[in-house]
Amino acid sequence: MKFIKKSPALLIEEESILVVGDLHIGIAYKLCKKGINIPDQLQDIEERLLKLLKKSGAEKLIMLGDIKHEVPGINYPEIHELPKFLKRLSDKVEVHICRGNHDTHMEKIIPDEVKLYQSGGFRVNDYFLYHGHEWPLKEFLECSHLILSHVHPVFEFKDKFGYRISKPVWMKLEVEKENFQERYKIKKSGKLEIVLVPSFNKLLGGYPINKISEQADSISPILRNDIVDIKESEIYLLDGTYLGKLSELN
């Protein structure tokens, strides 16, 4: 498993799987209705995905939820453009989607070739993949890796003059499986590696992870403070730069 350099995409090499999260197709349309004119992101998203698929040679594409943006409803581009987009992708690779909290009505618009999983996630051998807004299915405890999106992790840099800039980041941390025993009522031992995937849509903001360590459990239940120590997360920029552990960066 490796991060693809300069891209918010993950490659599980041994399974030939490309993993992305949080496309939020339809957000530009919603902003336009509010008077903010931004070019539609769908073409850019599709071109980037196709380049990544070709470069990586992946045979499967897994999207970790929030494929669409409108919630709780569905908007015009999601109805008319999203199905065509998914069909074009599924003509080239297997496409699997784990439902996110924005993915209402997805079952009505996705092509038959696309596999839709419920928000509790699904297992691919030693990897468990899900969106992240709720608890994963207990099968994740059979795996060594848990991969999620939803959080839109960014790191906020600030200089001595108070100017700020945020950059998307990868977060990786280890937790003992025993920490989940009270929640799932089953005994499992060993280490679990948790990986947080940055959002794929460039329009999206994110949660400054150097500010959320005390509220992480309100963003995703898997990050509850009594289960994981988010300050021990290892932080990487998209270009591969290792920033260090979060505890060292605050």
Tell me the sheet residues that pair with 129. 122, 147
Can you say whether the dihedral through the CA atoms of 63, 9, 102, 132 is positive or negative? positive
CB 124 within 8 A of CB 94: no
Place of tokens 């990586």: 56
What confidence tens digit (pLDDT) does each residue in 138-164 have?
Answer: 999 999 999 999 999 999 888 888 888
What confidence tens digit (pLDDT) does each residue in 42-59 have?
Answer: 899 999 999 999 999 999
> Domain spanning 2-249 has what CATH number?
3.60.21
Q: Where are the domains of the chain?
A: 2-249
Neighbour tally for 178: CB within 10 Å: 13
Average of per-residue pLDDT across 120-129: 97
pTM for this one? 0.93
Nearest to residue 150, comparing CAs of 135, 132, 136? 132
* Model confidence at 214: pLDDT above 80: no
Q: Tell me, what's the pLDDT at 204? A: 81
* Model confidence at 29: pLDDT above 80: no
